[in-house]
Amino acid sequence: MTSTTPPVPGDGRLETPLGILPVYRESARRDLGWVAIIRVPLVLSALLALSAMFSVAPLRDAQTGVAEGRLRLPFSYIVLAPLGDVLDAMSTLSVRQHVALMVSALALYAMWRTRRRRFRLSPRPSVLAEFAGATAVVLSLAGAYLVLTLLDRPMSALDGSNPNEVIVDFHSHTNASWDGRRSFTAERNRAWHDAAGFDVAYVTDHLPSDRMTASVPPARGLGHTLLLPSFEIECQGMHVVVLGASPAEARAWCNGDQPDWLDGSGASGALSSSAVVIGTLPGRLDQLAHADVSSMEVVDGSPRALEQLAREDSRVMAVADRYGLSLVTGSNLHGWGRTAVAWTAIEIPGWRGLSPEALDAKIRQHLRARPDGSVHVIERRRVRPGESAVSLVSTLPDVAWTMLVMMSPSERLSWMTWIWVMWVGSGVLTRRSARRIAA
């Protein structure tokens, strides 16, 4: 009986080149495809191991750059570490970096498709198939950003180890603001801040121009975070947060015949001596430098503010230093996303025993006291793009490497587990599909 086994090159049974070559090519494709599949988990595992040798603390002092504080990761976050780490890294990007990230992803897809066609690693697809593939990539990117903004996922939090430090967010919103998420109530604002490790959050909803009322949430609720009322207004082309004053007083201060562009002492005929005005980002530093403010944001969680910091980070610090302004941070939270970019820590011994009103007064007192070491900002490490096009092109690898070196051992273990589980699972599904097709 004659064997029907296809001839294999090099076995001494040379038939005709036309009969051997197709079998050789198909075998080479399968072998190369297998190598590519096994290479992915091996390369990713090697990167995880290598990056551990260059490990850095994920948090630092915003002014000095020295590592400070640590993140508290709930068990649910560790289990879903690949998802949480990637979304947290995306949440620290500026506007230009987001654009660069999307362009890089599309470019990598185009390079991958070109390589497969050049080396004939897959059958030549039709124009319709290529269009469908490109559309799927674009939709995947859009889906990633929807998950980033809408998914209610576990959060990493600042682990406040000093009992005498109160962790504050000076700039957040609820659905009372016109640009706030409709479902983002005061209680959801409180839950977000509680999950991020804040002790106090100021709710600074935008003050409508047609009425003199501010959104005043209840002082305490089911969560541990204390919400304090305030508001944000636009004044002389700037957006400022005003603490310890009524909306009417703030409007009088802003709309007076000669606004109080003083030396930053905070003293004003319209505002009480205990009021505090905080300059927010993004903002015009030329205006902010001469405004009657006590403090200014040096980190703000919005992409537009991070964009300004990418260009003017040193200038923001210089303005604050020149005019003796306290450095604070604001999440600029509107109900989108689950990542805290920075925290303000204020040294107030015994603050837990104070009433909400007394704690509010103490916080404003520390801000008005000018830099004395009792107020400092802790921020996440993030990739800071330069002005050159090269720095933007390298956004994707820079962000990926920064994310890798900041991982804790438990996060690395979670990543390793997910990588190999998904690889084994994909192999099982592939074999089952092949068997069904063969049958």
Do residues 34 and 69 both lie within one domain? no
Per DSSP, the three-state class of 377 is: strand
| Res 323 pLDDT > 80 | yes
% the chain with pLDDT above 70: 79
User: Between 133 and 22, whose confidence is greater?
Assistant: 133
Do residues 240 and 106 both lie within one domain? yes
**pLDDT score of 123:** 61
| Res 22 pLDDT > 60 | no
Residues 6+ apart with CB under 8 A from 254: 233, 235, 236
% the chain with pLDDT above 90: 53
User: Between 2 and 359, whose confidence is greater?
Assistant: 359
257 occurs within a structural domain: yes
Per DSSP, the three-state class of 342 is: strand
Please say whether the beta carbons of 287 and 310 come within 8 A.
no
Judged on CB neighbours under 10 Å (0-12, 13-18, 19+), 184 is: buried
Do residues 253 and 340 both lie within one domain? yes
pLDDT-based confidence at residue 37 (cuts at 50, 70, 90):
low
Per DSSP, the three-state class of 375 is: strand
Residues 335-352: tens digit of each pLDDT: 999 999 999 999 999 999
Do residues 26 and 145 both lie within one domain? no
Q: Which range (111-115, 196-200, 376-380) has the least confidence?
A: 111-115
**pLDDT score of 388:** 67
Per DSSP, the three-state class of 271 is: coil
Do residues 63 and 159 both lie within one domain? yes
| Res 308 pLDDT > 60 | yes
* Nearest to 200, CA basis, from 172, 175, 181: 172
User: Between 236 and 383, whose confidence is greater?
Assistant: 383
Do residues 48 and 93 both lie within one domain? no
Tell me the pTM: 0.84
212 occurs within a structural domain: yes
| Res 175 pLDDT > 80 | yes
Do residues 144 and 161 both lie within one domain? yes
Instruction: Find the mean pLDDT for residues 100-124.
Output: 77
**pLDDT score of 256:** 62
Tokens (6 digits) for 35: 């190598």
**Helices (H) and strands (E) in the chain — how many of each?**
13, 13
**pLDDT score of 204:** 94
Q: How many structural domains compose the chain?
A: 2
User: Between 408 and 216, whose confidence is greater?
Assistant: 408
Residues 392-409: tens digit of each pLDDT: 888 999 999 999 999 999
* Nearest to 259, CA basis, from 232, 240, 282, 281: 240
**pLDDT score of 131:** 83
Tokens (6 digits) for 92: 């620290």
Do residues 245 and 145 both lie within one domain? yes
* Nearest to 247, CA basis, from 206, 287, 279, 281: 206
* Rounded Cα gap, residues 356 and 230, in angstroms: 13
Tokens (6 digits) for 101: 């990230």
**pLDDT score of 112:** 82
| Res 88 pLDDT > 90 | yes
Q: Which range (38-42, 115-119, 131-135, 415-419) has the least confidence?
A: 115-119
* Rounded Cα gap, residues 421 and 424, in angstroms: 5
User: Between 116 and 275, whose confidence is greater?
Assistant: 275
Judged on CB neighbours under 10 Å (0-12, 13-18, 19+), 205 is: buried
7 occurs within a structural domain: no
11 occurs within a structural domain: no
Per DSSP, the three-state class of 239 is: strand
Residues 244, 247, 250, CA angle at the centre, nearest 5°? 75
Task: Return the exposure string of 123-134: e unless at least 16 CB atoms fall within 10 Å of the residue's CB, then b.
Answer: eeeeeeeeeeee
159 occurs within a structural domain: yes
- Determine the structural domain holding residue 350 and report its residue range: 59-387+396-406
* Nearest to 56, CA basis, from 413, 344, 382, 410: 382
How high is the mean pLDDT of the chain? 82
Please say whether the beta carbons of 169 and 139 come within 8 A.
no
Do residues 207 and 155 both lie within one domain? yes
Residues 233-244: tens digit of each pLDDT: 988 778 899 999
* Rounded Cα gap, residues 213 and 228, in angstroms: 15
Q: Which range (87-96, 169-178, 183-192, 305-314) has the least confidence?
A: 305-314
Do residues 431 and 333 both lie within one domain? no
Do residues 74 and 167 both lie within one domain? yes
Instruction: Find the mean pLDDT for residues 113-137.
Output: 72
Do residues 198 and 109 both lie within one domain? yes
Please say whether the beta carbons of 197 and 160 come within 8 A.
yes
412 occurs within a structural domain: no
Per DSSP, the three-state class of 337 is: coil
